[in-house]
Amino acid sequence: MSEPDLPDPATEPNASTDVESVELDVFLEAIQRVYGYDFRNYARASLRRRLWRRVHGEGRHSLTGLLEAVLHDPQAMERLRVDLSVTVTSMFRDPQFFRALRELVVPHLATYPFVRIWVAGCASGEEVYSLAILLREEGLADRVRIYATDVSEQVLEQAREGRMPLDKMKAYSSNYLEGGGREGLSRYYTVDGRWARMDPTLRDGVMFARHNLATDGTFNEFHLVLCRNVMIYFDRTLQHRVHELFDVSLVDLGILALGARESLVGSPLESHFDVIDAESRLYRKVAG
Amino acid sequence: MSVVTRLVALGGSWGGITAMQTILRDLDLPDDAALVAVLHRQPIRSALADVLVRGSAYPVEEAEDKAPLRPGTVYIAPPDYHLLVEPAWLSLSTEEPVKYSRPSIDVMLESAAEAFAHRLVAVIVTGASDDGTAGARAVHRRGGTVIVQDPKSAEQAVMPRSVVEAGVADRIAPLHELAATIGLAVRSRPGPGHE
């Protein structure tokens, strides 16, 4: 997919940039006040990319043009909101993480009579199904409840459906095996045209629900929280808020899993966690 | 000196690792500069940073999300993530590949152009796709300098030639002269305390 060039008639290198940065501030402030959607603490560079995609998608030429569209047309706002909330993931992304989950985390979880897991920012469910498969193979599925949340109702609907593009299953299969899979991934889905339909019994212990990491509070106590490659779209301030949310949502010795290039370094909550495995970004909440 | 005021952003694919090694061996940056790089490669865990740091005068790190930009440091995009540049730190994204690439050189350059404008030097080396051309256009528009490896000296000419044909190359140099060309170009950009 090629990105259209950003129109920029200004010859003075910084002039247009400054105007645009004001437009961006105004834009974010306005949709927060009118619609209550708060993207002000999203990481600017990727936010800007997505906004410009909507500028072109709505046939506009500037952020101010897009703002006019979304303020007067709730449908345009909805298209923008969906575009801003969607995260992209894959099944068994980072196989070594899933191997570490099997080897380092499962034995700990197995000591609890009942286990609650929160997949925060589950998107279209790839990680939820990966986790459900892993827990079944490790004999834990019967006493685990997975709470899978996302800010977007649309992607939750996709996640509940459990439908993956068939052409991706080959890559997912090799991830699965590399991550310590004990069977073959094909055991867990049926082919339906161009789609792979995940075994519906994988959803038995899973609850999908809407939750906004930027504004909502905690809703249970968890033994494991997975939030991988979700906070990369947030700035430091919002990241720290979410770290606090996870801290209060975890039981003592509860485990937090972050994405392969995320960490708690520099977070005010850093001292609340021990590193279990630096490579796979697994943290344990310190007791007390 | 703790703030990066001038940035070099380098992109390459086929043959890019060797090219970047050659550049890092001879590169001499001012104290307020850092370098970020996207090299296309297979999305597997690799020790690319370990390979690149050999013979390099600067430490080489695989970028972490929200890592503060530190002067005198080389950052490479991790496999399977886009690398985006903010004025004071780096950000990662798992959005869809752009032109079949993640990391994408265009994504890095467009964000770097936005963050550093005329204080940016973009470098396009050997590669077999035209990723980087749209990014080089953005750098050019924002007043940055675009340096291209001479397609004749490139292992794969497609990527550098595409930038040259787009008409946005400010300098064209063979591989063994790239480090010196980059050093001069960075020093010609306004440094700390200059507008």
Segment A10-68, tens digit of pLDDT: 334 444 558 888 999 999 999 999 998 889 999 999 999 999 999 999 999 999 999 99
Assess whether A267 and A164 both reside in one domain. yes
- Domain contains A8: no
Domain holding A175: CATH number?
3.40.50.150
Domains within chain B, CATH numbers bracketed = 6-188 (3.40.50.180)
Does the pLDDT of residue A3 top 50, yes or no? Answer: no
Co-location of A233 and A271 in the same domain: yes
Of B59, B35, B2, the C-alpha closest to B178 is B35
> Is residue A126 located within the same domain as residue A71?
no
Which residue in chain B has the smallest CA separation from A261? B64
Contacts of A20 (CB under 8 A, 6+ apart): A62, A63
Structural domain containing residue A158: 95-285
- What is the residue-averaged pLDDT of chain A? 92
Which of these three, A35, A55, A85, is where a domain ends? A85
Query: In the predicted model, what is the mean pLDDT of residues B4-9?
Result: 97
Catalytic one of B32, B40, B150, B162: B40
pLDDT (tens digit, 9 = 90+) per residue, A179-216?
A: 999 999 999 999 999 999 999 999 999 999 999 999 99
How many CA atoms lie less than 13 Å away from A56 in the CB half-sphere?
A: 11
Query: Looking at CA atoms only, how far is residue A114 from chain B in angstroms?
Result: 33
Judge whether A4 lies within some domain. no
Angle at A114 between CA A112 and CA A117, to 5 degrees: 100
Contact flag A13-B142 (C-beta cutoff 8 Å) = yes
**Counting every residue, how long is chain A?**
288
Last residue of a domain, one of A40, A56, A85: A85
Asked if A244 contacts A272 with a C-beta cutoff of 8 angstroms, the reply is no
- The answer to the question of residue A7 being in a domain is no
**CB proximity list for B160: less than 8 A, separation 6 or greater:** B124, B125, B126, B127, B148, B149, B150, B151, B154, B172
Q: Round to whole Å and give the CA distance between B43 and B40.
A: 9
For residue A114, being part of any structural domain is answered with: yes
Percent of chain B's residues with pLDDT above 90:
86
- Which residues in chain B have Cβ-Cβ distances shorter than 8 Å to A278? none
Does the residue A200 lie in any domain? yes
pLDDT single digits (tens) B101-135: 999 999 999 999 999 999 999 999 999 999 999 99
Contacts of A17 in chain B (CB under 8 A): 114, 117, 142
The answer on A233 and A155 residing in a single domain is yes
Check whether residue A60 and residue A121 sit in a common domain. no
Q: Check whether residue A136 and residue A198 sit in a common domain.
A: yes
CB contact under 8 A, B81 and A261: yes
Same domain, A121 and A240: yes
A5 inside domain = no
Domain check: are A27 and A129 in the same one?
Answer: no
The reply to whether A75 and A149 lie within a common domain is no
Q: Is A241 on the interface with B (CB under 8 A)?
A: no
pLDDT digits (tens, 9 = 90+) for B41-74: 765 556 788 888 888 999 999 999 999 999 999 9
The neighbour count for residue B97, using CB atoms within 10 Å, is 17
Of A103, A219, A209, nearest to A157 (Cα)? Answer: A209
DSSP secondary-structure letter at B117?
G
CA A227 – CA A229 distance, rounded (Å): 7
Three-state DSSP string of B33-94: EEEEEEECCCCCCCCHHHHHHCCCCCCEEECCCCCECCCCCEEECCCCCEEEECCCEEEEEC
Count of domains forming chain A: 2
Q: Residue A282: beta bridge partners?
A: A257, A277
Question: Known catalytic residue: B40?
Answer: yes
Domain match, A24 and A100 both: no
> Could you tell me if residue A6 is inside a domain?
no
- For residues A279 and A192, state if they share a domain: yes
On whether residue A132 sits in a domain, the answer given is: yes
d(CA A97, CA A93): 8
State the smallest CA–CA distance between residue A168 and chain B in angstroms: 14
Catalytic residue among B56, B82, B106, B131: B131
Residue A131 has pLDDT above 50, yes or no: yes
User: Could you give the ipTM of this predicted complex?
Assistant: 0.91
> Of A85, A107, A128, at which residue does a domain stop?
A85
Q: pLDDT digits over A94-123, tens only?
A: 999 999 999 999 999 999 999 999 999 999
Same-domain pairing of A126 and A172: yes
